Each structure stands twice: as structure tokens, then as C-alpha cells.
């Protein structure tokens, strides 16, 4: 699952709903991006190989 978010202090606000119940533990990979679309293409390339 790849979801864009915005960092606000120690909180990352997700720009989409996620299909997990509240209080569900998750792992998050954080990558700073300048251009969302190039980051999305990079992400897809890593998982399509």
C-alpha cells in the first residue's frame, strides 16, 4: 500500500483512508519526495521486479 502523507511535527497526516482498524500496529517507511509522481513510479518499479 502506498499512501501520501504530510508531516506536521511528530504526526504524519495521511491523505487517504486506510483499511485498518483503530489502534492497529503498522510499520511505516518514510521517504522525502520532491515530486510525488516520480516517487510513485520509483515505488512501483521496486515492487514490480
Q: What is the pLDDT of residues 7-21, one digit of tens each?
A: 899 999 988 999 999
| Residue 49 pLDDT level (bands cut at 50, 70, 90) | low
Mapped onto helix, strand or coil, the DSSP state of residue 46 is: helix
- Model confidence over 17-34: pLDDT tens digits? 999 999 999 998 888 777
Residues 6+ positions from 49 with CB-CB distance below 8 Å: none
**pTM of the entire predicted model:** 0.53
Nearest to 17 by CA among 5, 35, 32: 5
pLDDT at 21: 93
The residue with cell 491523505 is: 15
For residue 19, the number of C-alpha atoms closer than 13 Å in the C-beta half-sphere is: 2
Distance CA(1)–CA(24), nearest Å, equals: 15
Amino acid at each position: 500500500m502506498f499512501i501520501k502523507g504530510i508531516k506536521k511535527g511528530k504526526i504524519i497526516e495521511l491523505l487517504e483512508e486506510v483499511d485498518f482498524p483503530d489502534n492497529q500496529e503498522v510499520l511505516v517507511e518514510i521517504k522525502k519526495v520532491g515530486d510525488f509522481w516520480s516517487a510513485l513510479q520509483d515505488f512501483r518499479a521496486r515492487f514490480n521486479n
